[in-house]
Structure 1
Amino acid sequence: MTQRDFQQFFKNPRTHKDDLVAIGGDFHTDRLLYAYQKGIFPWSENPIRWYCLDPRAIFDLNRVHFSKTVMRKIRQKRHRISFNEAFLAVMQGCSYREKDNTWITSGFFKGYLQLHRMGWAHSVEVWNEKQELVGGVYGVAIGKFFAGESMFAYESDAGKIALYHLFEKLKLDGFLLFDTQQLNHVTWALGAYEIPKSSYLDRLENAIQNPDPWIISH
């Protein structure tokens, strides 16, 4: 689809008052990348529903706070941290819940795995001393913008440890905006907060002035 086709498919988030801006389409990488650059993300499949929330929850990378317990575990360095080593496994961990299903269904796997192969989607993995994957987080990076999609933990605090290392790497590489979509008790406790949609879209435009893939520094 052309840029014009996408403009006709998605309602303009700046002028459209509802959170829901489109229904249908597919998880093709071109559509996903266009959507993220306009502040839009998919939240369901069959049909695919596309949203731009108002208000929008974000993290200030310089004002996140982790508990003393989490920081102690990080300082102990009992875990191995990796980037983009097990993207599929991280998505699988994020898609599993004991009592209910998440929105991460087959179409999401197909679309985001392709984004990952193209260098747009990234994961952080936490491994225990037995080299078992015990936590992780994944999301989409465009320019200096990161959209956090989901995190999981098979071991207490492992997801937060992954998020800590992601934040540190993003700060090192000069990222300007971290989107966490909407608040929940975990993100709120870590320091996420809400801003108006208009402010979010202004910050997004600034963060993606050079919309390049993220080449992770080492």
Structure 2
Amino acid sequence: MPTELPPTRWEFPSPEVAGTGDLIGQGADLEPATILAAYRQGIFPMPVRRSGAMTWWSPAQRGILPLDGLAVSRSLRRSCRRYVIRINTVFDEVVAACADPGRPGGWISPEIIRAYERLHQLGWAHSVEAWTPEGQLAGGLYGLAIGGFFGGESMFHRQTDASKVALVGLVELLAAGGDAERRLLDLQWRTPHLASLGAVEVSRATYLELLDQSLKLPPPPAFGGPIDRDEGFRGV
């Protein structure tokens, strides 16, 4: 089970103060308790690429993926059969791959990496990994889980469709926890790529309602500890 932490010394403003904008504020710190408090209010951190300043966001239109809305094409279904899904076996490697500075639009700073590695050690952050049968890490994603909420942070792939397969695996894992209609898979913003997989936009007010009900649920069993390579399972 995740390690409970004392309250953060920071107080975040209500997301409503952003109005029609997405930016909530700047500053604070990246202590685990601070990040958890932010997510529980519908806020997440993201550094400004040029200045390195830490900013906090709550999009007016939030990207989410309903667990019953995942779009799995025939080609993706075939790809799912080519990989094995594993949980938390190489969290640091997944984050490092997502933070590759050579990736277009990269935003994951060394400070973010350290923060989420600490959250992983405390049982709050998790990786979902797509492996080849030969034992190569082909792609994956990582994010933060609180109860029935999962906040997806970033994903990467080294082989065709591997990050999509990891997302399919994540949806299966979340749904396996029961009460699938009350669980929340947060994607921050809906991109064209995520939209092709079934992501939708909801208003901030709707998102906060969904967040509130998801936080009351227990976490999926798979996030209780690492699933090692011999226990991996194949996607659909």
Shared fold by TM > 0.5? yes
1:6-17 pair list within 5 angstroms: 6-7=10-11, 10-17=12-19
Of 153, 158, 169, the residue aligned with 1:154 is: 158
Residues 1:154 and 1:41: Cα distance change in structure 2 (over 3 Å): same
**Which residue among 193, 209, 215 is the counterpart of 1:202?**
209
Aligned positions, number? 213
Uncovered stretches (5+) of structure 2, i.e. residues with no partner? 228-236
C-alpha separation between the residues in 1 aligned to 2:38 and 2:102? 31
Contact kept? 2:177, 2:221, Cα under 8 Å: no
Q: Which runs of 5+ in 1 are unaligned?
A: none
2:39 matches 1:36: yes
Q: One-letter code of the match for 1:35? A: A
The Cα offsets for residues 116-136 of structure 1, whole Å up to 9 and x where unpaired, read as: 111111101111133111100
- 1:56 is aligned to 2:58: no
> What aligned pairs does 1:59-98 form with structure 2 within 5 A after superposition?
59-74=65-80, 76=81, 78-96=82-100, 98=102
* 1:101 CA displacement: 5.3
Q: Distance in 2 between matches of 1:194 and 1:185?
A: 12
Displacement of 1:66 in angstroms is 1.6
Structure 1 residues 184-199: aligned runs within 5 Å: 184-199=191-206
The residue aligned with 1:216 is: 222
Tell me, what secondary structure is at the counterpart of 1:122?
A: strand
- What is the Cα deviation at residue 2 of structure 1? 7.5
For 1:200 and 1:161, locate their aligned partners in 2 and report how far apart those are by CA, in whole Å. 25
* 2:174 partner SS: helix
Q: Distance in 2 between matches of 1:25 and 1:131?
A: 40
Per the alignment, residue 106 of structure 1 pairs with 110
- Distance in 2 (CA, whole Å) between partners of 1:215 and 1:26 is 30
- RMSD between superposed Cα atoms in Å: 2.1
Identity across aligned pairs (percent)? 34
Shift of 1:97: 5.7
